[in-house]
A and B are shown apart, each in its own frame.
Chain A
């Protein structure tokens, strides 16, 4: 298995990698901006997920994506790539904040799931469009 996969992978790499390398994609070092792009995409995907999904658990997944996008931003700013700024660098604070965000996201997911399960037990559905008992 391994003896077949690796030459195949190396072949693919050679075929696809040549133009990418020529274009400078594979050798340009990564700065904070690239992490921010990833964070932005995750954040936007999370927002759209929260807006679009009808399943309550889908909305919860959107929340997780949003929090992760923010975490990527925090970690990127705390990374050594930005440490050259000296006293204004975020440094360790970014990582500690990301840690707290992870903890609080776990807590909030637990409570949200408990509420969703309660809702499911009482209304036999997880469709949030059906949560309109208090609708004026």
Chain B
């Protein structure tokens, strides 16, 4: 089962990269008032990505003379592994998750931060000043943006009462208004701060000065060609898909559609039979759609907005994103205290009740332990908060 999950995720990343590269070229072209690939594989250039892939595989495998051999060869794989590992905890539907981690959100954000090592290694090992500059700037940017990203990500955790991504998405089941982005005005703002920080931490769009052709030749991957370069780009598109998928799970309801068709039809996604499986498949398609829309949004702003300078990038992080995230976090906390069950329903709930995601969730790795502990655990928790 784990092997199947790993193979599927690998295919999601690889297939996704193929589709997104084509989509990027088409979107870039249309925004720039031209057509993009129109020859390979028919009128829309469907096979352009395949042609690109074949070209990359056939390229000569170069390494600069002064480069550190081991580090140079290892760097793309480190980046790719970090991007790939984060998908372990991302749920694609109710039961479609590589490993249901109790600390899913934490794990994903932690592993996303490891991609920077591949970049630093690539920059150092290339023995070129452009690479080193690009790598250092990118590392500084990614590490700085982890702070507001962490704060943005804690808000849905606070709302759901659990760091388990499956639980967070489950709590948003139902109609469109259950999604956390519509929970209160603070989470709406936090969603956009999350978008900014996510775009910055995958080094895309206005924050891509580390790879900018006009500034640093190509930044940390200047000296990489062929298959090694394509690993960096699979890692980048994988990370874009991941942060979009994470945004979908945390803020946009995960695999729940805007209309709860399954529950209206009386089907449940937890059952083992075919109907349950179909519901989960539709949920998976929902999540993939939302994540793809997120990636397309990132492509849209890349080709629309001008690039930021490094000092502007740092200013945005430290002077804008972090204080706004902190203020919105405080706002959500106060909103939860004032209206615990939501603005419409919520005046009956006791303030300060802690919702135990791991006590309620069906399935999961330790359901037996949780079921046994839930009777005493919930009482114990409820007792200590007066």
Contact = CB atoms under 8 A, between A and B. Distances in A.
Direct A–B contact in the complex, CB atoms closer than 8 angstroms:
yes
A6 B3 CA distance: 10
A121 interface: no
A76 to B, nearest CB: 19
A2 B10 CA distance: 8
Contacts of B7: 2, 6
Interface string B1-29: 00100010011000000000000000000
A6 B10 CA distance: 13
Interface in A3-21: 6
A2 B15 CA distance: 13
A6 B7 CA distance: 10
A6 B11 CA distance: 14
Contacts of B10: 2
Contacts of A2: 7, 10-11
Nearest to B10: A2
Nearest to B227: A1
Contacts of B11: 2
A2 B3 CA distance: 11
A79 to B, nearest CB: 14
B114 to A, nearest CB: 15
A58 B357 CA distance: 43
A2 B7 CA distance: 8
Contacts of B3: 6
Contacts of A6: 3, 7
B30 to A, nearest CB: 32
A6 B4 CA distance: 11
Interface of A: 2, 6
5 contacts: A2-B7, A2-B10, A2-B11, A6-B3, A6-B7
- Leading 5 A-B pairs by shortest Cβ distance: A2-B10, A2-B7, A2-B11, A6-B7, A6-B3
